[in-house]
Amino acid sequence: MTIVTILYLGLAAYAAFFMIYNFVKSKKWEEEALYVIVLIPFLLRIFGLK
Amino acid sequence: MSSTIDRTVIARKLIIAAIGLVLLVSSGVSFYRSRHLKEPVVLGPGVTGVSRLGDYFADIKGSVNDSNIYFLDSKQPGATILVLGGSHPEEPAGRIVPWMLVENAVMTKGRLIVALSTNRSATTSTRPSGAYPPDFSIPTAWGEQTFRMGDRWSNPLDQWPDPEVYIHYPSGQYLAYVDIRNVNRTWPGRPNGTLTEKTAYAFMRLIEQEHVDIVVDLHEAELQYPVISTIVTHQRGRDLAAMVSMTLTDLDGFKIGCEFSPKNLHGLSHREIGDFSPAISLLFETPEPFLDATRGKTTTEQLLTGKDEFVVKAGQHGLLYEKIDEKGWPIAVRVGRHTSSVAQVMQTWTEDHPDEPIEALNIPRYREVIQHGVGYYLRDPSKGPAARVVYE
């Protein structure tokens, strides 16, 4: 695994963390649904699935 | 009152999170299964050995592209032909034909080397936003054989990131960024390059060490692409390709053209293998409407029947480089074109080089494949001895 790939996965994890944080803090269900949908591809990449 | 609201909000978040989890797990399982689908290969009576690509270049060993290399050796003097399948796995005829060779062909003179997954990484993912099926199945008398759908490019999980511009080695030509993951844009490869470049480099070492005389790279093309239903040949293969083209058109009853590899278009097998090795390099293209941008629904049925009303419509507007009607381009027609082409390359070569023959039995011609269907030539892995079944 190259350093660039490790940095990329770190970046994806960083973005995923804030999406989860925003999901928890959000008061609107539309935003919560949006955060969850956007989060999925980030998690799939972090888990090495897609 | 406040605690009631809190509980409502928490319940809502839990429901949304649960829905997200279901989507994550279902898609994740689908992607995992597709990436790890085991494709059985029953070694036919003609297979005399199976090695790995990594045997020719240590950096590939143990990687996703350390694919099987099949040897069908007649033990009789003659030339050596290498058939590359799966350079672009989303072109299934180019992958099924080598499968049929490994499971059926018997060499009587010379030697045949076959790769079913030239870029194995590319077999493990599908095109983002392409709505491709994860796999497809060919019906047989014993059931179905399922193949990974694959893509044109190496899986980004195996090679990432892509550069802004891909600079081909060693020509220095600028190519589309994504083609740094396209094995048919990375020939002749680079030993310290990306996975895809290393894969091409390993195949060049194979060609060199096994003294390959002819390389045949099997592809399919969208009907909106001008390089279709043709043989693309390195200039050293022009006589062979021209004669194969004429013979197939005359005897097998399907039209196939012949064109020269452009000298200034780099990274392609028909250019670089010929330039960087003594081997003659030929690339065969057959029509695949599944790849057309104007296609309708992207389904397994469309992939295998080659029927698509939208592509037909594009043809009516003069937008295509190949004919299509309501009969489509069934997989048996596309596979049959390739099997006949491989057989004809051997036959024509042998006629021109009687002292270095390549002769084989059990390679079906075009009409036979259409008559019997593709599944007829795929063997049942449950019936083969375990030692004669390997996986791609």
Tell me the three state secondary structure of residue A39: helix
Q: Which residue has the tokens 């039995």?
A: B361
Preferred mutation among A21, A25, A42, A49 to probe B, highest tally of B CBs within 10 A: A49
User: Which are the contacts of B320, defined by CB distance < 8 A and separation ≥ 6?
Assistant: B223, B224, B311, B314
CA atoms of B386 and B384, how far apart (whole Å): 6
User: Which are the contacts of B266, defined by CB distance < 8 A and separation ≥ 6?
Assistant: B168, B171, B173, B175, B272
Length of chain A: 50
Interface predicted TM-score (ipTM) over 0.90: yes
Shortest CA distance from A41: residue in chain B: B24
Tokens in use for B34? 């597709």
Length of chain B: 392
Per-domain boundaries in chain A: 3-46
Residue B36: is it exposed, middle or buried by C-beta count within 10 angstroms (0-12/13-18/19+)?
A: exposed
Tell me the three state secondary structure of residue B207: helix
Bridge pairing between strands B80-84 and B111-115: parallel
In this prediction the pTM is 0.94
User: Which are the contacts of B235, defined by CB distance < 8 A and separation ≥ 6?
Assistant: B260, B261, B263, B274
Tokens in use for B243? 């004669």
Q: Is the Cβ pair B24, A43 closer than 8 Å?
A: yes
User: Which are the contacts of B21, defined by CB distance < 8 A and separation ≥ 6?
Assistant: none
Tokens in use for B142? 């014993």
- Nearest Cα to Cα of residue B203 among B125, B284, B265, B277: B277
Domains of chain B: 37-391 (3.40.630.10)
What is the full per-residue pLDDT of chain B (392 aa) written as tens digits? 567 778 899 999 999 999 999 999 999 999 999 899 999 999 999 999 999 999 999 999 999 999 999 999 999 999 999 999 999 999 999 999 999 999 999 999 999 999 999 999 999 999 988 889 999 999 999 999 999 999 999 999 999 889 999 999 999 999 999 999 999 999 999 999 999 999 999 999 999 999 999 999 999 999 999 999 999 999 999 999 999 999 999 999 999 999 999 999 999 999 999 999 999 999 999 999 999 999 999 999 999 999 999 999 999 999 999 999 999 999 999 999 999 999 999 999 999 999 999 999 999 999 999 999 999 999 999 998 999 999 99
Min CA distance, A14 vs chain B (Å)? 18
Shortest CA distance from A23: residue in chain B: B13
Bridge partner list, B218: B284
